[in-house]
Structure 1
Amino acid sequence: MVTAVTPLISLNRGLHRVDVTAEESGLYAAVRTQSQEFLRVRLGLTVGGRRLANGTEVFRSSERQVAERIEPVSGKTTLPTLRNHDEATISFVERDGFEWSVVLRLAEDGLALRYDIPDLWGVSTLDAEHTAVQLSTWERAWMLDYQTWYETPRFGSAVKELAPGSYGFPALLENAAGGYLLISEAAIDGRYSGAHGVVDQGRQELTFETADVSTEIARGTVTPWRVFVFGDLTAIVETNLVDEVAPGRHASMTDASWVRPGRAAWSWWSDFYSGAQIEHQKHFVDVAAEMGWEHLLIDCGWEETWVPEIVAYASSAGIQVHLWCVWHDLDGPEKISKLALWKSWGVAGIKVDFMESESKDRYRWYDSILQESARLRLMVNFHGSVIPRGWARTWPQVVSYEAIRGSEYYVFYQDTPLTSSHNVIQPFTRNVVGAMDYTPVALKAPGRTTSAAHELAMAVVFESGITHFADDVDVYAAEPAVSRLLQELPSKWDETRLLAGSPDTEAVLARRSGDRWFVGALATGPSRHLSVPLDRLGNDGTFRAWVVTDAGDGGFEESVVSVEKTLEVDIANDGGFAAILVAEAAELFRAEPNQRRGLPWTAAPIVEADESGRAEVHVDEVATLRVPPRWSAKSLGQGRWEVHHPDDLRPGCAGVVMVEVNDGGAVPLFSPVRVFRPFTGEAQLSNLTMIEFRNESGPVERDMSNGGGNPGDGQRLRVGDVQAGTGLGMSSPGHASFHLGGHASHLSGEVGVDNETPNTSAVAIVEADGRELFRAEIRAGEPPVPFTADLDGAKVLTLRTLAIGEDPAHVDWLSPVLYETRT
C-alpha cells in the first residue's frame, strides 16, 4: 500500500497545480495556487460491494495535453475557441487485483475529475461514490435545497450554518481570501444517474451522492466529470468548463447551421388557456414580427387541427413555431414518433416538460430525445429538467433548460413572489453552467417586489439560447423603452463579461454582439448609486450609452449619455438597469421588423385520395413537400406531386402535407394541404378529422366535455341524466368543421348543455355548406335535443354554438353519427 505523502502525480497549468496523494485516510486531489492549498477533494468509489482506495497501489500513470476546438451555437459566447487542458490518468490496483483509474483535467479556471474501470469483466454495480470536498476552508456558500427539477430558491449562507442534507448543483463557495469555488458535473448520459451534493457538518464535507442507490456499470467510464471551477468571480461567471469537458459534437450534429438561437413570444404566462386559441397565437406572431423576434412557443393547449396553419402564418413573418409537450408523451418508440409528425408540419422545436428525475432510466430517455431531435433537426428546450451538464456542446440543438425557479412561479404561487436576492444569485451559480429559461421580463407579475428596470435587465443578465419573454406582447409594445431593448437584443452573444457585483449585492454583466455591448444589472437591497467600471470592454473606456432605469412612478426612464471609464447609474430598491453601449460615432439602434413574405401557392387546401390511397397535389414549381411519417411523395414535375397515404388511414380522416419553399429567407415558407381518404360507411363524427375549429374555451374536445380550457381536461359527456361515451364537447360561441366531400347522406345525434356549466344556455346549429339544417335553443338541466340533418351530398359540415347571456355554456354533441350517401 502506498503511504507516502509525496504526490503520486502533479499537473500544472498557469498559477494552479493539482497533486494526487495517497494518505492513511485515503486518496486526495489537492489544488494549490502558489503553493497554497485551497481545494482538497477526497477520492474513491464502492463498486460491487468493494470500497476502492483501500489497500490501493499505483501501477500506471500517464499524462497528455487535450487541445479541442469549441464551436458553440449559443451560450455566453458563440465564437470558436481553442481550449487546452492538461490531463492525467492514474491507474490503481487493489489487493485482489481489481483495477480502476482516476482521470483529472486541469484548466486555467478549474479541475474536472472522473472514474474509469477499464478492464471490468461483464457488469457490476456502482454502489457509492466517495468524492468529497472539504468544507473547513470555505466560509460562505450559495446553494439551493435539492429537488430533481431544481426549482427551490437559491440562497446565501455561512458554510457552518448549512443544515445537513442534500443540495443541488451548481454550488458556490467562498473562502476568507475572496477566492471562489463552483461545484457541478458534466458529460452525463444514459450510462449514469445524476448527482447532487450532501453536506455533512460532522465531517465538514460536501459529498457527491447519485440519484440511484446502485447503478449497473460496464467497462469504461463509470461517472460523469465532477467539475470544480475556481478563481475570482470573473472566472466563475465567464467559465465554459462544463461544456469544455463534455464530448464534442455528436456525428449527427456536425452541421448545426439550422439551430437558430433567438427570442420567443410566449402567451401561456399572461393567459393560461391561450395556447388553445389560434387567433391569440396569430396576434403574438404579428407583434413578434414587429419586434424582429425569431420564435413563437405555443404552450399547453395547442391542437393538431390548426398547428400547420399557425406554422404557415408564422413562416410568412420569419418566425418559427415550437410546441410544448410532456415527457411521457414521447416515452418509447411509438410515442417518440410524434416528433417526426410535428416536424412534418414545419414545427422547429419542442419544449418538453416534467421529467423531474435524475435516474439512469430518465437519462436514457434524454438520450433518445437528443438523438431523435438531432436526426429530425428539432431544437429542444428541457423544462422540469436537470441542470445543464454540457449537452449544448455535444447536442447544440439543446437551446435551453429550465431548472430554475423562474417567472412561472408568479402563475402558480402568487403569494410567494420571486425575490431580488434569488435573482442576483443566478448569474453566479445556475446560469454559469448553461442556458436558463427563467422566462424574464414579467412586468405584470402579481405581487412583484422587484423594480421594473430589474425585470427588464433580466433580458441581458440571464442567458438562454432561446429567451421566452413572460409577459403579453402588448405589454411590451406599450412601453417604448422595453420594446426598444427587446427589439435591439441580439439573438446570440459573441462574448460575456462580468463588470461588477457579488452574489449578495448585485450582478452587472456585459454581453457583446458585434460592435455593441449590452449591459444589464440586477440588484438587491435599498436604492443606491452604482459606479460600473468599463475597462474590460475595451474602446479606451469611451462610449455612447443608452441607459434605461427606473422612474419614480414605477415606469422607465431612458437617456443617452457619453461615458468614460465608468457608467454611473442610480438604481431603485431591488432595482437594476439595462443599457446599450457603442463607440461614439456608431449607431445605437439598428433593429428592423421581420419582412413579410407570401406563402407558397397551392391549387387547393383540401384534396381527396383515390381508392389506392393516391392523391395529386399541385403546388409552386419551386416547392417541395413534407409528408407525415409512413406517407410518401413523388415529384411528377412542374409542381405536380403524387402523394400516398398509409392503408390504415381511416375513411373521413386526413393527413397534412406541408408545401415548403426555401427562398433564401431566414426560415422556410409553408402552406398546408390536407389529403383525405374519402368518407365511406358510417362513423362517429368525433373520430373524423376536423378541418377547422374556433372555441370560446380551449379546443373542441373529442369524446369528453369542453372542460376548463386545456386539451383533454373534460369529463364524461353528461346532459341531465343522459351520458355518452362519444361525441364533441364545445363551448359557446364555437364551431367545428368537417370535410364530407359529398359522400355523406345525413347526420344524427343529440345536443344539450353539459352539467358542468349549470344555469347556462346556448343555441346549437348544424350547417352544411353554409346552409342551416338544424337549430335548437338548449338549457342546462334539460334533456338533450335529438336531431337528424339531411346533408344531401354537402362538401363541408359545421357544428356551431352561439352564446346566450354572458356565461358561456359547454355544449355536448352526444353520439353524432355520420352516414354515407346512399346510391
Structure 2
Amino acid sequence: MSSRLLLIIFFFWSVSLMHAQKTFTVESPDKSLKIDITIDQVITYSVSHMGDLMLSKSPLSMKLTDGRTLGINARLSSARTNMVQQEIKAPIYKRAVISDHYNELTLRFKGNYTLLFRVYNDGVAYRWITNFKNSFVVESEQVVYNFPADNQAFVPYANIQGFAPFMTSFESVYQHIKLSQWKSKHLAFSPLVVEAANGKKICLAEADLLNYPGMFLTNSEGSTRLTGIFAPYPKEMEWGGYHNLQEIVKTTENYIAKCKGNTNFPWRVVIVSEKDFELADSDMIYKLATPTQCTDLSWIKPGKVAWEWWNSWNLYQVDFRAGINNDTYKYYIDFASRYGVEYVILDEGWAVNLKADLMQVVPEINLKELADYAKSKNVGLILWAGYNAFNRDMENICRHYAAMGIKGFKIDFMDRDDQLMVEFHVRAAEIAAKYKLLVDFHGTYKPTGLQRTYPNVINFEGVHGLEQMKWSPATVDQVTYDVTIPFIRMVAGPIDYTQGAMRNATKSNYRPVNSEAMSQGTRCRQLAEYIVFESPLNMLCDTPLAYMNEEECTTFISQIPTTWDNTVALNGEISKYISIARQKGNEWYVGVLTNWDARILELDLSFLGEGSYKAIVFKDGINADRIAHDYKKEIIDIPMDKKLKITLAPGGGYAMKIYANSK
C-alpha cells in the first residue's frame, strides 16, 4: 500500500473521529464555574473557575462484568440542558431553607444509560444512571482527578485495621503534603481538599451513597493524578474484632457492586472555593442527596446528650457506687433534667459483654425502670449498640425498645463502606424510622446525605473526635485538627465529635488520662465547638459534677441550639482558624477557634443588620496560655459598625450569644 493511500485513509479516519467527537460546556448560574465535557472514544471532563484550571481533562467510565463499559466508545442519543432554581426546606440542618440553583446537562447514550452533570456556583457533580431491563454487576468504576499542578493537599490516610484492606475507622488526622508526595500504597478517604491556583481550594467528595461502595482515593504513581478505588463486594465474612462486634471480610468477589436495572449511582462531587471559609458553609452534599419520603418529622427531636463513657462513669460526692447501674443513670438523668439536656445515653456496658445480643441486659440495669424515670423527668434515653448485635436482630430490637420508650440507638463499629455495609446503613435508618427511633452512626464512614433521605439519622462519627484525648500521646495535635475539619470533613455533614471537656490543658500540660480525660486547648474552645461544629445530636462529654461546678459554662452550653435557621461562615483558613455565626430565632451565636497560635481577629457582624445588639461573651482569660481553663464571661454592646475585635489564646476559643438590645 502506497504512502499516499495510507495518508488518505488516515485523513478520512481523522475526519470521521472529528465528526464523532462531541463537546459540551456548562457554566454555573453566576458564570464563575465552568465544566467542559468531551465525548470521544472516552468521556473526559475538565473544570475551570474564573479562568483558573481546577481539574485537567479527567476520564470517567464504568465497567460491568457482562462486558459492557459505560463511557467507552459511547454513542450519544440525546443531550439536554436544564436550569433549576428552587428552595429546599431543611428542618434538621444548619439552615432552615437552602437555595438550590444549578445548570444541568443530561447526556443519554444508546444502551439505556445516562450521564448527568450539574454545575453550581460553588461546585460541579456528575453521576451515572442506568435504565436496564435486568440487574447487573459493576466490576469497576473509573474515577480520575487530574490536577494541573503538583499542589498541596490535606490527606486523611485510611488507618487500615489489619483485618482487611478497606477496613478503617475513618478517624485519621490530615497530612499536608504535595500530591506527588502521596504514599504510594496508602488509601485516603473523602472529603479531601487540594489547594489550587490563586489560593482557591478544591474539595473532593461524594453524595447520595445508598446502594454502592464508598470511594477511597489513591496515587500510586507519585503524580498529580488521584484515582478512585472501591472496596470489592464481600464474599466470606466472620464476626470478630472488638468484642466480637465487627464483621470481618475474609475474601471478596472480583467486582464491587450488584445493582438493579434502574440505578442512580452516587454523585462524584468537586467543590471549589475562592476563600477557605466558604467550604465551611457548603450545602452541596445535602442538596445532592435523595429527598426524604417521610411526611411526619415532628417526632424527630435534635438535642444534647449527657454522656458517661468519656468521663468513665466517674461520679463523686454520691452515696452509691458509680458505674453501670440504675443509680448512676438516674443521677445522669437528674443532671440532664436540671439543665434541659434532652437525652442521656447508655453507652457500652448495658448489654452483656461478648454476647452480641442486645436482648441480654446486665443484671445491674433495669431498662424499663430507667426509661420510665427518664420520661418523668422529660429526658429521653439512647442506647449504644455494636454493629453485630444490632444487625443480627434489627427489627425485633427496634420494636422491643421503642415499645419500652427508648428514643434511639448509637450504632458502632461498622468500620467499612463496601456495598453491603452501605446498604446496612440504609436498612438501619429505614427500620429505625418505622419505629420512630433516632440513629447516631458511630464507627462509620463520612455522611453523604443520608440525613436528608432519612432525617432520623441525626449524626455521624467518621471524625477524630474528643474521645481520642483519652489515650492519644501529646504528639497528636488535636487543636490543629479542630481547625481543619470544618473545611473538610464537615463539608460532608454533621460530626459526632463529643466536645464539652471541663478539664482543659495547654500544649505543654496535656497528657492522656483515660479515666479522667482532658482536652487540648482552652475552656472557651470547648464552648465554641458547640457552635462551630455542626451536630444535631451533641454530647456533653464530661461528668455531671464537673458541669455543676462550672455553672456559667454549663448554662451557656445547655442553651446553644443543635439545629439552626441560618449559618454564616465569617472567616477562616484551613488549619489556622475558623469563625462561624449561626442563627436560631432572634438570637445569633458566634464561635471562633484558633490553632496553637495566639490570634487577634476582627469579626464582621454585619449579618445582624440594622439595630442595637448586646452579647453574652465567653473569652479566653488573660492567663489561658498558662492555665487553659481560665476564661472571662462578660456582657458587651456590639459596636454600631458591627466590627468586633477579639483575642484568642494559643489553642483558644471565643463564644458568644447575640441578642437585640431592648433597652
Q: How would you bin the TM-score normalised by the shorter chain?
A: 0.7 to 0.9
Partner of 2:88: 70
Counterpart pick for 1:141 among 117, 137, 153: 153
Counterpart pick for 1:206 among 215, 223, 226: 226
Q: Please list the CA deviations of residues 558-587 of structure 1 after superposition, one character each: whole Å capped at 9, or x if unmatched.
A: 12222322222221112111111223337x
Q: Please list the CA deviations of residues 444-471 of structure 1 after superposition, one character each: whole Å capped at 9, or x if unmatched.
A: 3662432222222111111111101111
Q: Distance in 1 between matches of 2:74 and 2:22?
A: 15
Secondary structure at 1:130's aligned position in 2? Answer: strand
Cα 1:548/1:344, change in 2 over 3 Å: same
Post-superposition offset of 1:137? 4.0
Aligned residue runs from structure 1 range 61-100, under 5 A? 61-66=79-84, 69-77=87-95, 79-81=96-98, 83-93=100-110, 98=111, 100=113
Q: Distance in 1 between matches of 2:178 and 2:651?
A: 23
Post-superposition offset of 1:146? 2.1
Q: Please list the CA deviations of residues 486-532 of structure 1 after superposition, one character each: whole Å capped at 9, or x if unmatched.
A: 12212421111111111121011111111211111111122232222
Partner of 1:544: 614
Q: Distance in 1 between matches of 2:413 and 2:477?
A: 21
Cα 1:127/1:63, change in 2 over 3 Å: same
Q: Does 2:287 align with 1:244?
A: yes
Aligned residue runs from structure 1 range 441-456, under 5 A? 441-444=500-503, 447=511, 448-456=519-527
Partner of 1:489: 560
Aligned CA RMSD, in angstroms, stands at 2.5
Q: Please list the CA deviations of residues 641-667 of structure 1 after superposition, one character each: whole Å capped at 9, or x if unmatched.
A: xxxxxxxxxxxxxxxxxxxxxxxxxxx
Secondary structure at 1:88's aligned position in 2? Answer: strand
Q: Distance in 2 between matches of 1:430 and 1:2?
A: 43
Q: Distance in 2 between matches of 1:230 and 1:25?
A: 28
Q: Distance in 1 between matches of 2:417 and 2:265?
A: 14
Counterpart pick for 1:225 among 263, 267, 279: 267
Counterpart pick for 1:287 among 307, 324, 335: 335
Cα 1:218/1:462, change in 2 over 3 Å: same
Secondary structure at 2:198's aligned position in 1? Answer: coil
Partner of 1:306: 366
Q: Distance in 2 between matches of 1:534 and 1:28?
A: 43
Higher relative contact order (CA 8 A, sep 6+): 2
How many residues align structurally? 575
Counterpart pick for 1:520 among 591, 602, 615: 591
Partner of 1:747: none
Cα 1:202/1:155, change in 2 over 3 Å: closer
Post-superposition offset of 1:35? 4.8
- Tell me which amino acid in the other structure corresponds to 2:62: L
Tell me if the contact between 2:206 and 2:448 (Cα under 8 Å) persists in the aligned partners. yes
Secondary structure at 1:410's aligned position in 2? Answer: helix
Q: Please list the CA deviations of residues 585-639 of structure 1 after superposition, one character each: whole Å capped at 9, or x if unmatched.
A: 37xxxxxxxxxxxxxxxxxxxxxxxxxxxxxxxxxxxxxxxxxxxxxxxxxxxxx
Partner of 1:126: 138
Partner of 1:57: 75
Aligned residue runs from structure 1 range 598-617, under 5 A? none
Partner of 1:339: 398
Cα 1:449/1:465, change in 2 over 3 Å: closer
Q: Please list the CA deviations of residues 203-232 of structure 1 after superposition, one character each: whole Å capped at 9, or x if unmatched.
A: 421222112253223323363111122223
Counterpart pick for 1:259 among 300, 303, 312: 300
Cα 1:80/1:479, change in 2 over 3 Å: same
Tell me if the contact between 1:156 and 1:504 (Cα under 8 Å) persists in the aligned partners. no
Aligned residue runs from structure 1 range 528-607, under 5 A? 528-535=599-606, 537-540=607-610, 543-551=613-621, 552=623, 553-554=627-628, 555-564=630-639, 565-585=642-662
Partner of 2:485: 426
Q: Please list the CA deviations of residues 170-212 of structure 1 after superposition, one character each: whole Å capped at 9, or x if unmatched.
A: 11122131222211111111x3111122234544212221122
- Tell me which amino acid in the other structure corresponds to 1:129: E
Q: Distance in 2 between matches of 1:487 and 1:560?
A: 18
Tell me if the contact between 1:75 and 1:434 (Cα under 8 Å) persists in the aligned partners. no
- Tell me which amino acid in the other structure corresponds to 2:225: E
Tell me if the contact between 1:17 and 1:32 (Cα under 8 Å) persists in the aligned partners. yes
Post-superposition offset of 1:394? 0.7
Q: Distance in 1 between matches of 2:227 and 2:123?
A: 18
Segments of structure 2 that go 5 or more residues without pairing to the other structure are 1-15, 160-167, 233-254, 315-321, 352-360, 505-509, 512-518
Post-superposition offset of 1:66? 4.4
Deviation larger for 4-13 or 561-570:
4-13
Partner of 1:479: 550
Post-superposition offset of 1:115? 1.1
Aligned residue runs from structure 1 range 793-812, under 5 A? none
Partner of 2:212: 192
Post-superposition offset of 1:335? 4.5
Q: Which one has a larger percent helix, Structure 1 or Structure 2?
A: 2
- Tell me which amino acid in the other structure corresponds to 1:219: G
Segments of structure 1 that go 5 or more residues without pairing to the other structure are 587-823
Counterpart pick for 1:101 among 97, 100, 114: 114
Q: Please list the CA deviations of residues 248-296 of structure 1 after superposition, one character each: whole Å capped at 9, or x if unmatched.
A: 113xx21111000111101111015866222111111112222111111
Larger-gyration structure (1/2): 1
Q: Distance in 2 between matches of 1:90 and 1:328?
A: 42
Tell me if the contact between 2:26 and 2:103 (Cα under 8 Å) persists in the aligned partners. no
Tell me if the contact between 1:314 and 1:321 (Cα under 8 Å) persists in the aligned partners. yes
Counterpart pick for 1:268 among 303, 309, 313: 309
